[in-house]
Structure 1
Amino acid sequence: MKATIVEQHSKFEIDLSEPIDISIPITNTDANPIAWYIDKPIIAPVRFEEWVGKVSEGMSSTNFNSITFNPHGHGTHTECLGHITHDFYSVNQALQQFFFSAELVSVFPEKKDGDLVVTQAAVQKALNGKTPQALIIRTLPNEASKVSRKYSHTNPPYLEQAAARFFRESGIMHLLVDLPSVDKEKDAGKLLAHKAFWNVTDVRVLNADARMQATITEMVFVKDSVADGSYVLNLQMASFENDASPSRPVLFATKAV
């Protein structure tokens, strides 16, 4: 099945039968990635005294699991500026459109003061003047262990503030990274990249030009077989009224028509 998409002055086709899923699923196994010092997710049947909501245990006609997880620490998730603000803002209200022009770029983080940092210069060079609605950053080396990595206390790579500001000034509305955060793991609460991308200067009183509809998606994984270049992004997430929600970003290769 194919679909034709018209965006401004361009027209292109995508094949809906060839999705490229770049999400990491949530599991209750030790293979689940973890960040922010929490334990793995819990997926377990409901229990009422001796009754267990699990067909294989012979007491229930249905499987009836409860799930306990944290969207920020347990897999691919999408967040809005409510992640860092004093007042509540919901990502479910921020994200009201779901298909976007997207660019996938691969970059090597640079060593700076003992950290590995994704710089403005590296991403700007990779974009080569393109200004998509959504940007997916694949950090190199692209190790398969990203899908199960335990990030706590490891000081993973992060974005420099200038890079996040450049994305905002370029009009990129949706930023996707294969990192647990766009900011440094332990930065004393500065959150410089988050604030720069969302244009938040005061977390207690939002400035009028704060980017209410912009989103950041973290902990994606893009296989090496997916080439850098232009795609259509379908960004879907569970309908939680929360600052963040588990999400499933899917790419579709484009063909000019």
Structure 2
Amino acid sequence: MEIKDYLPETVKGKAVLLTGGTTGIGRAIALLLAAQGADIVFFGHEAYHLADALADIKAVAKGKVFGFVADCGTEAGIGTIFKHVDEQLGRLDILVNNAAIGFGNVTDVSYAELQDVLNINLLSYLACCAGAIERMKKQGGGHIVNIGSLSAQVREATGSVYVATKAGIRAYSEALRKDVNKHGIKVSLIEPGAVDTDMQQQPADEKLKKVESLEMLEATDVAVAVIYCLTQPKRCDVIELKLRPHLQAI
């Protein structure tokens, strides 16, 4: 038996929307999906990351790749995102909800800042799911992958706002799965622990040491988990997948 016998589905030729695809976990997901032949539309929040990400992703791509700058925390931004999906892909088989920003506690910030993080970390997931489901129902199926965080379980005191958004994603993913399952739409939630990305505000050499000491994941570890969820046989739904660095104290 070969691995393809156990994971018979493929992402080759699938139309994918990836949110937050220019850095960190999102970039790793885009690279792996592109290398497997998926057609990808992705975006990021900052223009200066986009050109670099596009160059890297197109270098390994075996399908179409289209990247742009958008603010998924606004209604106009969501409209722009799905306009590009329809124009560049013409259909939507897979949504990977990944866009997020790190955040601290309510006493550290203004109301406007709280609104921004809720819009990006939680509301954008709901809005992108709404757009994806509309298209997937017409096609008779699809797959939504929500990238959450083990912060929803650990609930660290230093990031209560971030924890709230990730706990919301966990609850929403469970309810959403029950809602859309009858339409042939799968929903998977992936919750990683600490990952070596820009969201971890530590010196790069310190993060590298944590990866080497098994206290932190690499972004590619999460990308491989996404591929695992997407390539299961149709009879099998991976509804929740947790990834913990081997020696992270969780």
Work out whether the TM-score is over 0.5: no
**Structure with greater contact order relative to length (CA < 8 Å, sep ≥ 6):** 1
When Rg is computed on C-alpha atoms for both structures, the one with the higher figure is 1
Q: TM-score with structure 1 length normalisation?
A: 0.31
Structure with the higher strand share, 1 or 2: 1
TM-score, scaled to structure 2: 0.32
Structure with the bigger percentage of helix: 2
